[in-house]
Amino acid sequence: MRILVTGGTGYIGSHTVLTLLEAGHDVVVVDNLSNSSEEALRRVGELAGREAAFVRADITDEAALDAAFAEHAPEAVIHFAGLKAVGESVTIPLDYYFNNVAGTIALLRTMERHAVRTIVFSSSATVYGEHNPTPYVEKMEIGAMNPYGRTKEQIEDILTDLGASDPAWRIALLRYFNPVGAHPSGRIGEDPQGIPNNLVPFIAQVAVGRREKLMVFGGDYDTPDGTCLRDYIHVMDLAEGHAAALHYLQGHDGVHRWNLGSGHGTSVLQMHAAFEKAVGSPIPYEIAPRRAGDLPAFWADPSAALADLGWSTTRTVEAMCEDHWRWQKNNPMGYALSLEAGEEPQARPSMSPHPAPYRIDVTAGDPPSLEQALNRAVEAAIAQALMEGTRGVLVTRRSPCTYTVELSRIVPFGTTLERDESVQGR
């Protein structure tokens, strides 16, 4: 099948694209790269042994979508693209409604023009709001409590109305919970821009030295250890859930809703302990006051997905942490940067009694992404220099699009020296 995936270079999208390619589907990805990297798609191609087509476009741009549909003739769509940070949605709600809701309308209008009426929509457990008892089941009334959740709820309403208006539509609404982990190869994973909004990527960045410590918000909830309980799902289980939903739609029209979750809660401290075990060393944390709006506990009832799709989670919390750590330690600054082969991240000196030289190679295909990657590398190196008492940071230009950033005990701290080796033919 030819499948168009919006947001396919993002965290969940890239893992789903890999799952689809490995299942033999032809995939075209549409993404504007505003919160992701094309490098993810390149690595997906390496892992799958074949590539997905890529169209850099915004889903609000109907002309660009028309061109993509005309060129690639997809038979179905999996829709991930959209803004996704709950806190940010409160401060810039118009951006969320425009990108998420108006963007989805533009996508659906394009699908209608090209007679494509099969779509799997990446919804969210946030549509359940704050007042439903756990576990959450699909028949509950929904009522999101923040702009991000309301965009998901509104899109669900639009798709429900669309399905009622035309029986040719085949629609899956997937309400998933807390995706974590990474592909077991460590080649693709979650690469949040800025401070992570979710627990596990934050723990991982503390473990690799990018953050000082984990703040645990609330230690006095009515839960076994006093911290919040959440339903965590391995991103590969989630990707397989999207593929299963798409397969189901081949034989069923109408609108269908499924929770994708594990069916049980894991506390913040339990997840922290599991990640410490994966890392093999302590990860500092501090109990802080509760945050307004945090629920003590919620998790999914995934029995409908099991009954209809034959789908359930198969990967444990331990596997989630092991896979997420493998990704993070091999890619300490995400897709933009990587360590030399065989090196371990040394941003937290206690991780190894014999630290390897701190070095990051920076490669990017065009000047804007190169500048961004280089700035991130230098910021990380300066932070490391402060921790180790090193004098400065050395940046070596090895080719027009390749740099090496490393610590120097010769360059005075407070300066960044760029050495150009490309003129020497290296």
Write the pLDDT tens digit of every residue in 44-55.
Answer: 999 999 999 999
- Beta-carbon contacts of 352 under 8 Å, excluding residues fewer than 6 positions away, are 344, 346
Does the pLDDT of residue 35 top 80, yes or no?
yes
Q: Say what the pLDDT of residue 352 is.
A: 32
Q: What is the pLDDT at residue 130?
A: 87
Chain mean pLDDT for the chain = 88
For residue 249, what are its two tokens?
A: 């739609």
Residue 351 has pLDDT above 90, yes or no: no
Beta partners for residue 393, in sequence order: 407, 416
pLDDT at 393 over 70: no
Rounded to the nearest 10°, the torsion over CA 123, 75, 1, 29 is: -60
Query: What pLDDT sits at residue 87?
Result: 87
Domains of the chain: residue spans and CATH: 2-183+232-262+297-313 (3.40.50.720), 334-424 (no CATH)
Does residue 399 have a pLDDT over 70? no
**128-153: average pLDDT:** 95
pLDDT higher than 70, residue 347: no
- pLDDT at 258 (0 to 100): 99
3-state helix, strand, coil in the chain (%, to 5): 40, 20, 40
Residues facing residue 407 across a β-bridge: 393
Select which of 148, 221, 335, 358 is catalytic: 148
Lowest mean pLDDT among 18-27, 65-74, 378-387, 398-407: 378-387
pLDDT at 408: 58
Which pLDDT band, with edges at 50, 70 and 90, does 337 fall under? Answer: low
Q: Which two tokens stand for residue 316?
A: 């444990």
Q: Are 395 and 417 spatial neighbours (Cβ–Cβ below 8 Å)? A: yes
Task: Kindly report whether the peptide bond that precedes residue 296 is cis, defined as omega within 30 degrees of 0.
Answer: no
Distances 14 to 61, 71, 80, 324, 388 between C-alpha atoms, Å? 22, 21, 10, 15, 36
pLDDT value at residue 336: 72
> How much is the pLDDT for 390?
54
Of the listed ranges 68-82, 224-238, 393-407, the least confidently predicted one is 393-407
Strand pairing class (416-420; 392-399): parallel
Hey, is 408 helix, strand or coil? strand
For range 175-195, the mean pLDDT: 95
Order of all β-strands in the sheet with 254-260:
53-56, 26-31, 2-6, 76-79, 118-122, 170-176, 254-260
Q: Which residues pair with 217 in a beta bridge?
A: 288
- Residue 165's SS3 state is helix
pTM for the full model? 0.81
**232: annotated active-site residue:** no
Region of residue 34 (left: phi > 0; alpha: psi -120 to 50; beta: else) = alpha
